[in-house]
Amino acid sequence: MLHLITTRLLGAIPVLLLVTMAIFGLLRLAPGDAAELLLPDDATEEQIAETREAWGLDRPIWAQYGQFIGNLARFDLGESYRYRAPVFELIGERLPATLELSFYALVMAIVIAVPLGMIAALNKGKIIDAIVSVISISGVSAPSFWVGILLVLFFSGYLNLFPSSGRLPYGVSVPSVTGFVTFDALIAGSFDTFLQALKYLALPALTLTLAMIGIISRITRAAVIDAGQEEHVFTAVAKGMKRGTIVRRHLMPNAAIPIVTIIGLELGALISGSIIVEVVFSWPGIGTLLFQAISVRDMPLTTGAVASYTILFIALNLLIDIFYVLIDPRLRGHKA
Amino acid sequence: MTLSSDTRPADGTIAGQNAAPVLSARNLSLYIREGRNRIRIVSDVSFEIAAGEFFALVGESGSGKTMIARSIMRLLPASMLEIEGDLEFCGKSLTSLPENRMRALRGGAISMIFQEPMTSLDPLMPVGRQIEETLELHSDLNRRQRAERIETLLTDVRFAEPAKVAAMFPHELSGGMRQRAMIAMALANNPQLLIADEPTTALDVTIQREVMEIIQRLRRKYGLSVLFISHDLSLVHQYAERVGVLYGGVLMEAGPERDVIGRSAHPYTQALLNCAPGRRVAGERRRGIGGTVPSPRDWAPGCRFRDRCERADAACANSEIPVKDLSPEWRAKCLRPTE
């Protein structure tokens, strides 16, 4: 287990280098730079040139990258051009919001999609299976920005049930312990704030959830059907076990392996989806931060935000791998 | 042992054994459901297994032997496999038994081991726990008694360190060890009938012997009846007391081992024996059986073996083939059995 964790963390280093290199290159290729975009329209050529020099934008790209890596080794991501604040701090402030949103979206997706897939598999070929199919295919087909806008129009605009942007109403705040507003509200003993926070979470989380339900429920269905055809399920029937017990004890644990795999793959979709969803719902996470950073070519902030996403993705995949080892004794046997 | 036919309805009384049979199949036909159609895969098979008897059902792949094995405990749902005719266990009909009472028999009085020891245990559950599950279902032993019983069972199948094996996962055991663990599981509740569906096919020859010896020893020790499904004639010759030969879902020949294997009358049994290694005359090339087993979809009236049979003529295609009594216990479904 320790071996798994260390190899993964070491493997993350080249990935991070490649990702940051790509960001540097891409931002350089994009027209305009931070100095042009951030200074007021009436700024003189000289002022722009001065700013470029101050931020090091006049130096060659490889020199800028070299400096970035040098700083990174000291856990310094530089200072945002736009916010004039250390990138580390900016991300630290915003990360919990992104994590909270992703957490709820993922939990909802699993809680909805896994049972849906199971029901479809256990009623294979019946009407209920077809209904689940329709739900999953619509989930897969609808892009999240569009679903997000529809949800806002209907639930915020028309029904006025849920707020369409932000994390909490203006002026409401809770002392930060975990960074998750919902958890912090419960810790602070304020159930009202907890409910309010959930209302704010509802639409963005639902948008992300809907995008994941389709694939997770399809794969769950296939996994449960496959697991049901395994010989050991026959053995369990031949032992005289009830169908329900077999499903619970033998079928689901075996089906869990492919389901966990697809959830791992869906984490990528969740992360990229969360950027769009955060922008649509003005969710104060690193997605909106990244969006703002890119639009003004804020190099340190963009790189920092993308690097956080990369680390997040690697960490989540590591969690998935650890989970595998926990459910499958075959992976535990040899001391890797 | 009876073979059914149109000329003599099977009634179970003509069995060679005097004691009440543990299992009797009478005019058993099996159908597989495919959408709205059903395909007959086993036709009118009758046989009986007496208490303590080792009965082997022999046949090529596709002869329907595994389906017969699975139909006894109704392992396949009625929506997939339809059963006609009658199956009786100790005089009680299995075909009309409600599902909950069938469940009480499965793993209790009737138990089964399968062909693939590699896949017939749940890979995610320790072996001992899998044996314990069947004890929980069919006995009222408490936790400590169950643990003791598991140790006894694993010792019975020749594990030197039963406690250690009980804690192991299937992937930590070899194929032969897994099959022994399966046998321990099957015998957990002192069954009267053990159905062994090609239990040694996936194993090395030396391990085969070991597993067969264990089955044989436990059969004697506990007075177990065994329905042994196999295509391995040398094993059948060695262990079976009575043999039924299946071809294309039809029981072609049945009787005591010394008759069916020793001096077989049916051309199909003879052809099968000719293919078996170790039975050929030195210098003579081993012969296969020309052609292939007909698919259930292509079944026509008459004898199903006639296309591959050296003795077949026009009569074999026309009529239903009668069952001939060769001795009180030995019968063949053929127009021209050798005697």
The nearest CA of chain B is from the CA of A237 a distance in Å of 7
Q: Are A276 and A148 in contact (CB under 8 A)?
A: yes
Nearest beta carbon to residue B106 from set A230, A240, A253: A240
d(CA A318, CA A106): 16
Q: Do B138 and A240 touch (CB under 8 A)?
A: yes
Nearest beta carbon to residue B108 from set A236, A240, A328: A240
d(CA A312, CA B64): 55
Nearest beta carbon to residue B116 from set A231, A240, A254: A231
The nearest CA of chain A is from the CA of B233 a distance in Å of 25
B10 pLDDT band, cuts 50/70/90, is: very low
B287 pLDDT band, cuts 50/70/90, is: low
Both tokens of B242, joined, read 């009575």
- The mean predicted confidence, pLDDT, of chain B is 85
Q: Do B75 and A237 touch (CB under 8 A)?
A: yes
The nearest CA of chain B is from the CA of A323 a distance in Å of 14
B339 pLDDT band, cuts 50/70/90, is: low
B284 pLDDT band, cuts 50/70/90, is: low
Both tokens of A146, joined, read 């569009």
> Could you tell me what percent of chain B has a pLDDT over 70?
91
Q: Do A235 and B114 touch (CB under 8 A)?
A: yes
**What does the pLDDT read at residue A98?**
92
Say yes or no to pLDDT of B7 above 50: no
Residues of B in contact with A240 (CB under 8 A): 103-108, 134, 137-138
ipTM over 0.85: no
Q: Do A330 and B169 touch (CB under 8 A)?
A: yes
A226-230, B9-13, B22-26, B251-255: range with lowest mean pLDDT: B9-13
Of the residues B102, B116, B120, the best mutation for testing chain A's interface (the one with the most A CB atoms within 10 Å of its CB) is: B120
Say yes or no to pLDDT of B280 above 60: no
Of the residues A237, A239, A327, the best mutation for testing chain B's interface (the one with the most B CB atoms within 10 Å of its CB) is: A239
**What does the pLDDT read at residue B191?**
92
Nearest beta carbon to residue B107 from set A230, A239, A330: A239
The nearest CA of chain A is from the CA of B12 a distance in Å of 27
> Can you name the residues that pair with B82 across neighbouring β-strands?
B31
Q: Which residues contact B291 (CB under 8 A, 6 or more apart)?
A: B307, B308
Q: Are A309 and A270 in contact (CB under 8 A)?
A: no
Residues of B in contact with A329 (CB under 8 A): 123-124, 169, 171
Nearest beta carbon to residue A232 from set B75, B121, B172: B121
**What does the pLDDT read at residue B296?**
77
**What does the pLDDT read at residue B285?**
60
Q: Which residues contact A8 (CB under 8 A, 6 or more apart)?
A: A314, A317, A318, A321
Q: Is the C-alpha dihedral spanning A118, A124, A125, A127 positive or negative?
A: negative
- Give the number of A-B residue pairs with CB atoms closer than 8 Å: 77
Per-residue pLDDT reduced to its tens digit, B44-99: 999 999 999 999 999 888 888 889 999 999 988 888 889 999 999 998 899 888 99
B15 pLDDT band, cuts 50/70/90, is: very low
User: Which ranges of chain A have pLDDT less than 70?
Assistant: 333-336
B313 pLDDT band, cuts 50/70/90, is: confident
d(CA A309, CA A23): 13
Say yes or no to pLDDT of B143 above 80: yes
Say yes or no to pLDDT of B5 above 70: no
B279 pLDDT band, cuts 50/70/90, is: low
pTM: 0.78
Say yes or no to pLDDT of B13 above 70: no
d(CA B32, CA B252): 21
Pairing verdict, β B225-230 and B193-197: parallel
B16 pLDDT band, cuts 50/70/90, is: very low
